[in-house]
Structure 1
Amino acid sequence: MSKHRASKIPTQMSDIIEINGYRIGRGEQQAIELNIARLPTHTNIDLPIHLYRAEEDGPVLLLTGGLHGDEINGIEILRRMIHNQMLMPRKGTVIAMPLVNTYGFIQNIRGLPDGKDINRSFPGSQTGSLASLMAHTLMNQILPHVDLGIDFHTGGEARANYPQIRCDWSLKRNRDIAKAFSPPVIVNSSVLDNTFRKAAQDNGTPVLVYEGGEALRFDELAIQEGIDGTLRLMEYLEMIPATTDPQQTEIYEASPWIRAEYGGLFRHEAELGDHVEEGQLLGYISDPYGDLWAEVQSHKEGRIIGLNNAPVVYKGDALVHIACDFIKTV
């Protein structure tokens, strides 16, 4: 299969996709499991994978959630789409992995019990740490079958993200996928070393990151935008019939954080998704004793795409994430 095709849909797809000994043919729907390792209690940890294959040629779309175990909005996006039978295409193949990091999910943590982050461990190693092994499994068992993907994430603990797609805007394929997904905001974002997005891009496979909500909290707007965007992307790829129109999307070049100049108690006045002007009041930092009362102002004109909901902050902490240097609206 071509990784650098000019058209939206490849002319051919494999008759059989084989993963870890499982063989899934055209027109089949199957849930399989990859055994990764086991806990010290000898409890096996398996990686469930749902495959939906049409008879007709089309792209192979990978959808992943829960790479960070506490980021449950992506898990819920794919759970709802599986439960409501939204992923069976009329062309091509969908590979859905709702929960990659089972270890982190069980313990409500971002990474793994040893503290390592899967999304900083790519391309991984078969003989490395557990995070490295899981990354290696994704890269070698799954990615070779894939034409493009969306990796669903949320903000960190007490940090909420407005629904957005992050991608390297300099690459046309990324631009086409991001615009087809049609989130409220697209942010130009360079790839970080050792991430899934970077390893996939180096492999010639565009994988874009969707961000929405915060860790350990369901966010209905983020969940619904993730579902709607996935369906719009599948329509664009002609995997399902076209029934929706793209929504208005704002595209930004940069996304700096405004950081705390003082430690204290942070109360925000602006909300996620707000458009802000340079110098606009975003919130206040006070101390517990009534002495400090400092305004937090926007350094840029733009839109709020991330917000720190933790009331107690330290000097230098990230408070408000601003998408700025507006490119255009599509």
Structure 2
Amino acid sequence: MNYRNNVLRILKEDILPGESKTINMEIAKLHTMTKLKIPIIVERAKLPGPTVLLSAGLHGDEINGTEIVRQLIVQKINKPKTGTIICIPIINVFGFVNQTREFPDGRDLNRVFPGSKTGSLASRFAYYLLKEIIPHVDYAIDFHAGGAARFNAAQIRIAPNNQELRDLAEIFHAPFTLYSNNISGSFRNSCDKLGVKMLLFEGGKSIDINEDITQQGIEGAKRVLEHFGMLNSRKKASHPEEKSIYIEKSAWIRARYSGMFHGYTKIGSYVNKGQLLATISDPYGKIEHKMKAPNSGYVINVNEAPIVYQGDAIYHISTELEK
């Protein structure tokens, strides 16, 4: 693909080849009239190349994704040898301030895309993100974490039947890759419709920073940038010998009882059908329910909450691997 080194224009500001610029996106204020700015950090090389977006914080409480993008900036990995790298460490700055998943209007930003210029607060953010940023982007990596107390193993999620995304996932080389259909209203779905190839990274849990997950995200991003000839010559990408595990189908195991949760299963491990995964007990020492694996597979998400309720999602286990 031939890339041109045109002037990049975002929110009425021009960024020239070889230039670095932080652009603050201001769409709304707090109810106290305090301004909230979303920094968009743009680094351009003098040589032409693709434009890659590295984003996080679509859900305000998924701090581990923000830490990954922050580290990419601190380590100057975002300074490309060719092309352009756009970093948005926090998209949902409102949720980040309040350490909540949603926007102040109660909406999940990842369900309101493509948004509306005159819609709800979350909808307006979605609209401007697609209007101002995404038209310039060729590839994107969006970093997420598990919701509530559910800890995700480091994984890439891609839509099925898309060979280019499959190849990119192989380059990123997370321990697990899940085939997952695009969800209506999601950032990933809107990017796909606009021709942007997006890898969605999941790892860790909300309101938490995990060093291993952070490193998985950083190294995967470096491998992708290296593939496009964008990785700074002073930076080196690691290339693990272990193969990624591709999961065609998976299913949640839900708690059949409420009580105190005692997990015995390590995230990322392979379990056999009938293996004891956890127990759920009452607080008085009289009752203890065993939770066993309904099938053999890899554990890609674990609920780390000490207390669970009947119906809570506890374990996410693969049911069918790519052949």
| Match for residue 289 of structure 2 among 265, 285, 294 | 294
Q: Which amino acid aligns with 1:172?
A: Q
Unaligned runs of 5+ in 2: none
CA positional deviation for 1:164: 0.4
Q: Which amino acid aligns with 2:248?
A: E
CA positional deviation for 1:147: 0.5
- Aligned partner of 1:156 in structure 2 is 147
Q: Which amino acid aligns with 1:327?
A: E
User: How far, CA to CA, are the matches of 2:139 and 2:295 in structure 1?
Assistant: 34
User: How far, CA to CA, are the matches of 2:160 and 2:291 in structure 1?
Assistant: 30
| Match for residue 125 of structure 2 among 106, 120, 134 | 134
CA positional deviation for 1:289: 2.5
Listed one character per residue, the Cα deviations across residues 45-65 of structure 1 (whole Å, up to 9, x for unaligned) are 211011111111211111111
Listed one character per residue, the Cα deviations across residues 295-314 of structure 1 (whole Å, up to 9, x for unaligned) are 11111221111111112111
Q: TM-score, normalising length from structure 1?
A: 0.94
Listed one character per residue, the Cα deviations across residues 118-164 of structure 1 (whole Å, up to 9, x for unaligned) are 11110000100110011011110000000010110000111111100
Q: Map 1:114-129; keep pairs closer than 5 Å.
A: 114-129=105-120
Q: Map 1:160-199; keep pairs closer than 5 Å.
A: 160-199=151-190
Unaligned runs of 5+ in 1: 1-9
Secondary structure, counterpart of 1:13 in structure 2: coil
- Aligned partner of 1:26 in structure 2 is 17
Secondary structure, counterpart of 1:44 in structure 2: coil
CA positional deviation for 1:14: 4.1
CA positional deviation for 1:243: 4.4
Q: Map 1:1-330; keep pairs closer than 5 Å.
A: 10-240=1-231, 241=233, 243-247=237-241, 248-327=243-322
Q: TM-score, normalising length from structure 2?
A: 0.96
User: How far, CA to CA, are the matches of 2:237 and 2:252 in structure 1?
Assistant: 37
Kept in 2: contact 1:74–1:154 (CA 8 A) = yes
Kept in 2: contact 1:187–1:323 (CA 8 A) = no
Q: Which amino acid aligns with 1:63?
A: L
> In percent, how many aligned pairs have the same letter?
41
User: How far, CA to CA, are the matches of 2:250 and 2:124 in structure 1?
Assistant: 32
Secondary structure, counterpart of 2:257 in structure 1: coil
User: How far, CA to CA, are the matches of 1:168 and 1:301 in structure 2?
Assistant: 24
Structure 1: 4+ residue segments shifted above 4 A:
none
Kept in 2: contact 1:45–1:102 (CA 8 A) = yes
Coordinate RMSD, CA, aligned: 1.3
Kept in 2: contact 1:277–1:298 (CA 8 A) = yes
